[in-house]
Structures are given as C-alpha cells and as structure tokens.
C-alpha cells in the first residue's frame, strides 16, 4: 500500500458537503414556507436531513482521526485555526443582537414611554434565577477546565467525573431557562423589549444546547478511550465553544438582565 510523503489529510470524496448544502436549502425554504403557508413538511425534511448529515460527517471525522491517524500536527493546527475563526464569526453574530438592544434601550422612543424598561414591562429580577444561571455556567467553566487537566494528566476516572458534571450543569441551566421562559411576565411580542430579550437569550439558549451536545459527544468519546493525554482536540474545541457560550451569557446578564432592568 502506498504511503503519503506529506503530513496533510487527503480526504476521500464524500457526499456530506453537497447534502449539507441541500439540508440548509430545505431548512431555510421550509422555514419560510412554515411562516407563510403554514406547511411543516419541508422544514421537517430539512431538519431531519441536517441531523443525518451532521451525524455522518462528524462520525467520519472521528474515523479519519482516531481510527485512521490522519490528524497530524499540521492538520490539527488547521483545525485550531478553523475553530477559532468559527467562534469569532459567532461573536459577531451576537454582536448584532447586542447592537440592536443598545440601539433601542439607550434612547427609548416616546412609544415606549421614553423609558427603559418600557412602560408596562415588568422585567425579571436579575438577582433571582438569572443569577443562579450565571453561577451554574461559571461553575461549568471550572469543571470543564478540571476535565481538561485530568485528560492531560491521564486521570481517566476524574476526567469522566468532571466532564459529566459539566454536562449536568449545562442541563440544569437549560431546564431553569426553559422554566423562566414559561413563567416570564412578558412575551416576544411585547414591544422591542420582548424582541431584543427573547432573540438574544433565545439564540444564546440554542448555543447552550449545541455546546452541551458537543460536550456530551466528547464525554462518550472519553469513555470509549478516544482521547490521549497529548491528542484530544475534539475536547479542546468543545471546551473553547463552551467558554464562549459562558462569556456570551455574562454579557447578556450584565447588559440585558441587570443594566436593562
């Protein structure tokens, strides 16, 4: 069998990029069709195909790395750049929603009663569940760092405990936030306050779901001996993403929950 004389990962041609693009087309068009024509089928088809593509594409990346050994140091370097660039793009995504919040809250219009929060809006008490959520995410940042140190030291049992605790804290945050959404005294339709609040915290919640799913996959891989003390980039990428989610929450808490109340 011929061996390559370079350190780069030459992929087999595979169908995931094109089917991922189709899944994105189906999801976006399906969303528009759900809004305008009240049909759910294209959206459902889009979401199902998106999940199928993600599962298979990422399964193949695990095969190429852990089972076939293609993730040499130069390849890992490229993956690190890629993850950092992706997280940076997500930072800009949230920057837009923070801009929208400050645009409306720094100079409240007469229609809002010239004040922020607008007249009639009863904001959530930032010292109640939102403060608990802040503590939960900060604690999960500590536990994920503990997990990382355990992995680099080869302490398998501790790493599993720490990462499991991180995933559990993420689940606790999601449960509390869902309850807060249900019990909220205002809705997304309640003026620009409701819009900015639920869009910003809603997209953050989606990122918590994505981040904790990523961490859960890492936990399963950790249990199955995929990581070594020197090579565990999948875990590092998940940890970076989780810290990003935590930082976004801190900004949300300080601006929308606390200053904005």
Partner 1 sequence: MWKQIPGLRQISQRTISTASRRQLGNRVPEKQKLFQEDNGIPVYLKGGVMDSLLYRLTMGLTAFGTAYVVYELLVASMPKKQK
Residues near partner 1 (CB under 8 A)? 1, 11-16, 18-19, 22-23, 25-26, 29-30, 33, 36-37, 42, 45-46, 48-49, 52-53, 55-56, 60, 63-64, 66-69, 224-226
Longest Cα pair distance anywhere in the chain, in angstroms? 76
Instruction: Pick between residue 52 and residue 124 the one whose CB is nearest to partner 1.
Output: 52
- DSSP state for residue 110 in the 8-state scheme: G
- Of the candidates 60, 84, 52, 54, which has an alpha carbon nearest to the alpha carbon of residue 9? 60
Give the nearest distance from C-beta 259 to partner 1 in angstroms.
43
Give the nearest distance from C-beta 5 to partner 1 in angstroms.
18
Instruction: Pick between residue 43 and residue 252 the one whose CB is nearest to partner 1.
Output: 43
Give the nearest distance from C-beta 163 to partner 1 in angstroms.
17
Instruction: Pick between residue 1 and residue 189 the one whose CB is nearest to partner 1.
Output: 1
Give the nearest distance from C-beta 184 to partner 1 in angstroms.
35
- DSSP state for residue 2 in the 8-state scheme: -
Q: What gap in Å lies between CA 259 and CA 60, rounded to an integer? A: 46
Give the nearest distance from C-beta 147 to partner 1 in angstroms.
19
Residue 159's CB: how many other CB atoms inside 10 A?
Answer: 25
Burial class (CB within 10 angstroms; exposed 0-12, middle 13-18, buried 19+) of 197: buried
Instruction: Pick between residue 16 and residue 258 the one whose CB is nearest to partner 1.
Output: 16
Instruction: Give the burial string for 201-226 (b: 16+ CB within 10 Å, else e).
Output: bebbbebbeebbebbbbbbebbeeeb
Instruction: Pick between residue 145 and residue 161 the one whose CB is nearest to partner 1.
Output: 161
């Amino acid at each position: 069998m011929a061996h390559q004389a370079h350190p780069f990962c030459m992929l087999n041609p595979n169908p995931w990029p094109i089917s991922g693009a189709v899944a994105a087309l189906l999801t976006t068009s399906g969303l528009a069709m759900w809004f305008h024509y009240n049909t759910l089928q294209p959206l459902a088809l889009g979401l199902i195909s998106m999940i199928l593509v993600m599962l298979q594409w990422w399964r193949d990346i695990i095969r190429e790395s852990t089972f076939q050994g293609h993730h040499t140091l130069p390849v890992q370097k490229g993956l690190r750049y890629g993850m950092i660039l992706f997280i940076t793009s997500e930072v800009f995504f949230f920057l837009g929603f923070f801009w929208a919040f400050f645009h409306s809250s720094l100079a409240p219009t007469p229609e809002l009663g010239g004040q922020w929060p607008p007249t009639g809006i009863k904001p959530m008490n930032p010292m109640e569940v939102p403060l608990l959520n802040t503590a939960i995410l900060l604690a999960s940042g500590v536990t994920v760092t503990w997990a990382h140190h355990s992995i680099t030291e080869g302490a398998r049992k501790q790493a599993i405990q720490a990462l499991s605790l991180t995933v559990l804290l993420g689940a606790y945050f999601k449960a509390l936030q869902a309850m807060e959404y249900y019990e909220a005294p205002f809705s997304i339709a309640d003026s620009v306050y409701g819009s900015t609040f639920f869009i910003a915290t809603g997209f953050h919640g989606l990122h918590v779901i994505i981040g904790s799913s990523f961490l859960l996959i890492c936990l399963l891989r950790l249990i199955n001996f995929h990581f070594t003390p020197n090579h565990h980039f999948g875990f590092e990428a998940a940890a970076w993403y989780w810290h990003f989610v935590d930082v976004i929450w801190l900004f949300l808490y300080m601006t929308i929950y606390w200053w904005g109340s």
